[in-house]
Amino acid sequence: GNAATAKSDKKTSGPGTGKGTQCAKIVQDSHFHHLSAGDLLRAEVAKGTELGAKLDKMMKDGLIEITLGLLKDAMLAAPESVPGFLIDGFPREIDQAVQFEQNIAPCDKVLFYDCSEKVMLERLIKRGETSGRSDDNEETIKKRFATFLAKSLPVINHFEPTGKLVKISAERGVDEVYEDSKKVFQEMSE
């Protein structure tokens, strides 16, 4: 994969597929504690530290590996009463997945929102008009797609044989996609 793949209609998932949108709806209907790996990174950037500046640059290139520590800290900081965590935008590569399950906690389900790059690009360009996110511009979006294809997509093959993977078609309206998201959480609480 490279930046040219952003023009193809190949189904992948990734940036702009609607993870944040679906997570926001899921936590309204469940008691999961929502953590977004990207939001944790952006919070670090917003602190204006030297590390933050470095992260900002790395995020624009598409991937960094320190999220595991940020996630662990955020999970430890959550109230003890939370019944479970909903982690958005993670894991981005197989090694992160392996390390998370070995050193933090095994996960119950992995949700994969399937969408073409054409649709994701349209959504992100539109979001960029108001989001203020420094990575919502066409050049950076294409880098994010390329990194996603190279590093993150293999995570799907890693989880496929475990029976934890749930694929959801994300190219439909928000509420239709949510009907499928909801089923996963309803089944988990049965």
Residues 1-60 that bind ligand UP5 (CB under 6 A): 14-21, 36-38, 41, 59
Q: Which of 32, 81, 78 is nearest to 185 (CA)?
A: 32
Give all strands of the β-sheet with 165-169 in edge-to-edge order: 11-12, 110-116, 165-169
Please, which residues have CB within 8 angstroms of residue 24's CB and are 6 or more apart in sequence?
34
Site string for ligand UP5, 85-124 (x = CB under 6 A): ----xx-x---x--------------------------x-
Helices then strands (H, E): number in the chain?
9, 5
Which one of ligand UP5, Mg ion, none interacts with residue 123, CB within 5 to 8 A by kind? ligand UP5
CB closer to ligand UP5, 37 vs 79: 37
User: What does residue 84 show for φ and ψ, rounded to 5 degrees?
Assistant: 180, 170
Q: Distance (Å, rounded) from C-alpha 114 to C-alpha 132?
A: 25
Residue 128 sits in the site that holds ligand UP5 (CB under 6 A): no
Which one of ligand UP5, Mg ion, none interacts with residue 127, CB within 5 to 8 A by kind? ligand UP5
| Residue in 27, 64, 165, 166 binding ligand UP5, rule: CB under 6 A | 64
Residue 20 sits in the site that holds Mg ion (CB under 5 A): yes
- List residues near Mg ion by CB under 5 A: 20
